[in-house]
Amino acid sequence: MKLIVTVVNKEDTNVILEEMTALGHPVTLTESYGGFLQGENSTLFAAVEDNRVDDVLEIIGRYCHEARAVRHDRNPDRPIIVGSAVVFVTEIDLFTQF
């Protein structure tokens, strides 16, 4: 089993939650700010069976859109492209529900 932690732009959150839930993947959501995407974000946590990881990654890729951002520590006339999702997939050693 894997833990998928995904930081997404806030505007992409609802559709990803709906799609993942519809496919039977429960998701925990927390609001976040800054960090990888430099703005208002959502961080999603989902425990997923190994053989379903690609399904979840496909959902994320389908609904996350490229965003443009200007970093103030660099040339403000030259925006850099910031992706709208950062995904971490890690092994779960123990999964218990009480």
Q: Is the Cβ–Cβ distance between 81 and 45 less than 8 Å?
A: no
| pTM of this structure | 0.81
pLDDT of 15 above 90 = yes
Q: Residue 24: name the closest of 4, 1, 52 by CA.
A: 52
- Domain residue extents for the chain: 2-91
DSSP states of the chain: -EEEEEEEEGGGHHHHHHHHHHTT---EEEEEESTTTSSEEEEEEEEE-GGGHHHHHHHHHHH---EEE--TTS-TTS-EEE-SEEEEEEE-S-----
Q: Is the Cβ–Cβ distance between 39 and 84 less than 8 Å?
A: no
| Residue 66, pLDDT score | 66
Domain 2-91, what architecture? 2-Layer Sandwich (3.30)
Dump pLDDT digits (tens) for 46-89: 999 999 999 999 999 998 876 656 555 566 676 666 667 899 99
